[in-house]
Amino acid sequence: MPLDVTPAREADLTELADVAARTFPLACPPGMGADDISAFISENLSAARFGEYLADPDRTVLTARMDGRIVGYAMLIRGVAADDDVQKAVPLRPAVELSKMYVLPDGHGAGVSAALMTAALEASRLLAAACVWLGVNQENQRAQRFYAKHGFEVNGTKTFRVGGRVENDYVMVRPLSD
């Protein structure tokens, strides 16, 4: 099936929010409460929030489409979080955070994640980033293997709040070269 990765548009907001609501729970560690997951989705992954993300000049949202429907997305954010742990873990500047990257289950194994990663790294180069960094839950070994395959290395740790729960993440970093 043909796969297209393009910047998100305002017309994508409802579909993006739907994909985000369906994929975010897949990356959560076992035992995370449904209430915490729902709270995070409501606060961070609604159509209104995606509208804010698209309007933010420091963010880039990419969509992956198969047969015209969104099957995955990635979000890039220029800079490094103010968190001291992240500041220590991300040594190169300027940096871009790969804040979100999720694919619907029917897109797994179809090259969607690899295409999104390729597009995210290229977009980061166009932003003149020296590196890309991300946070990944320490229990999400599948995602860690995927990121390592694409040149990311664990360079520190940070915490991440989901609802009322604090999760422990690895900070992974990938230098970019010309």
With a pLDDT cut of 70, the percent of the chain lying above it is 99
With a pLDDT cut of 90, the percent of the chain lying above it is 84
Rounded to 5 degrees, what are φ and ψ at 165? -110, 140
Domains and CATH numbers, the chain: 3-175 (3.40.630.30)
Q: First and final CA of the chain: distance in angstroms?
A: 31
Question: SS3 of 166, please?
Answer: strand
pLDDT at residue number 160: 84
Q: For the chain, which ranges sit under pLDDT 50? A: none
What confidence tens digit (pLDDT) does each residue in 152-167 have?
Answer: 999 999 998 887 778 8
Q: What is the pTM of this model?
A: 0.94
Three-state SS annotation for 51-109: HHHHHCCCEEEEEEEECCEEEEEEEEEECCCCCHHHHHHCCCCCEEEEEEEEECHHHCC
C-alpha–C-alpha distance, residues 11 and 118, integer Å = 24
pLDDT at residue number 20: 97
pLDDT at residue number 78: 98
pLDDT at residue number 177: 80
